[in-house]
Amino acid sequence: MKNWNKADKLLAVVTALFIIALLLKLQYPENLYIKGFLFCTEAALVGGVADWFAVTALFRKPLGFPYHTAILSRKRQAFTNSCVNMVQQEFFSKKKLLFRIRKLNLLQLFVEWLEKNQMKEFLSGIILQYLENALKQVDIQKTAGIVEAEIKKKLSIVPQEKIYADLKTWFVEKEKNEELFSYLIEEIRRKISQEETKLAIQESIQTYSEEKNKNIFVAFLTTAAQLSNVLNFAEAASVLQQQILNLTTDLLQKDHPLRRQLLDQIYTAINRIIKDESWQTLVLKWQGEIVESVMIKEQLSECLKLVLQYFKRENEEGGPSNLLALQTPVAHIILAGIDRGLVLLKTDEKIQHTIYQFLYDMMGRSVLQAQLMIGSIVKEALSAMSDAQMNQLVYSKVETDLLWIRMNGSIVGALIGLILFSLSQLLQ
């Protein structure tokens, strides 16, 4: 009995008690207590066997019975599609994803990225390179406009690989991917734990049952099973809800294999999206739009004035006229101008609105594409499992509940048997 679980042991005990009661009944046929004992053990045995059959039929064919058994294996395609639909429509619906994005301060994240990834130094290098040949004949306003156009041009051709690499660094090295994944799982867990979700699951199960029970005989059996509590949609919904909650608990563990598998699938999907030509075209379009929204001509004019004044002062004092000697102080001036641009980015509501709309549009499009990929990831993960693996996955999450369902069959059967026997004796 090493491999016997507690439900098997209880069923064995009930069977033994039934045999004992039957033998006692044959020995003492008129004894009221023995009659009641036999009636209760018989009801407990019937309830236990019925629930054993019902639970076992979910995963395999009990006693080789082929009709409407091994349900999960036979209906795995429908089960997979339901899981995909639930993930896409309930957990990661477009409305919920866009709502969550709106709660993120994308502009602040963008400014932090701009400040932490040497973009200011990149801009100053471009300006210095141009000034090296043009500073002596410069028309401040005209040159400021030209420099602004050049900066926009350079920004517009920043390799997408660099952008992706920086985003990957921010997500992976800063573990933002883990935080975002855990946040999504917590939201899923909160939603699943609600009573409304349980009712929705129960309604889905009932709807599915009604669709499959159009046959009068099958419908009759289903109704009989419900009346005898062998088939209980509310209890099944509770079991499925608990199963999903257990799954989310596992997914919150950073080292859990399923969490790692899902994250790997997400990384694979993201890499596939990045290589897509339509996606690359879209990123180029966004890149052009944000570059066009950058207005730094006035800041560049101030920088050029300071550089020219410093340059002339060096010549008048007999100092070096070589621009290379001036790169360090000029660089400080340019960086100061870029800092002013960042301040403007943080304070100018019009610019903030433009950039925020761009970032929201980019993130929204990305998330909506990812939302479609999530369904594919779930479908591929479930389809890759064998029947035995899927059965084990489902069973391991609800094993305790299924065992109690079986034990409750014997317990409730015995109680009902006791009640019915008592009533029959009172009515005699």
On whether the CB atoms of residues 55 and 413 are closer than 8 A, the answer is no
CB 251 within 8 A of CB 259: yes
Non-local (6+) Cβ contacts of 267 within 8 A are none
pLDDT by 10-residue block (mean), the chain, 428 residues: 72 86 84 85 84 75 68 67 68 66 71 69 70 64 76 69 63 65 80 77 67 50 46 66 77 78 75 68 70 73 71 42 47 75 78 77 72 67 66 69 79 84 80
Q: How far apart are CA 283 and CA 163, in angstroms?
A: 10
The DSSP element (H or E) to which 129 belongs, if any, is helix 119-134
> How many other CB atoms are found less than 10 A from the CB of residue 233?
16
pLDDT the model gives residue 179: 75
Give residue 319's pLDDT.
Answer: 39
The tokens describing 119, both together, are 């973009």
The domain ranges of the chain are: 6-74+400-427, 193-252
Q: Which residue, 193, 197, 195, 245, is CA-closest to 89?
A: 197
149-157 — which CB contacts under 8 Å span 24+ positions? Answer: 150/126, 151/123, 151/126, 151/127, 151/294, 151/296, 152/291, 152/292, 152/294, 154/126, 155/287, 155/291, 155/294, 156/287, 156/288, 156/291
Rounded Cα–Cα distance for residues 30 and 36 (Å): 11
User: How buried is 62 (Cβ within 10 angstroms: 0-12 exposed, 13-18 middle, 19+ buried)?
Assistant: middle
What's the pLDDT score for residue 364?
A: 72
Q: Which residue pairs from 355-364 have beta carbons closer than 8 angstroms and sit at least 24 positions apart in sequence?
A: 355/107, 355/110, 355/290, 355/293, 356/106, 356/107, 358/286, 358/289, 358/290, 358/293, 359/106, 359/107, 359/110, 360/101, 360/102, 360/106, 361/286, 362/286, 363/101, 363/104, 363/106, 364/98, 364/101
Model-wide pTM > 0.85: no
pLDDT at 326: 41
Q: What is the Cα–Cα distance from 218 to 290, expressed in whole angstroms? A: 62
**Residue 206's pLDDT is what?**
65
The count of other CB atoms within 10 Å of the CB of residue 116 is 10
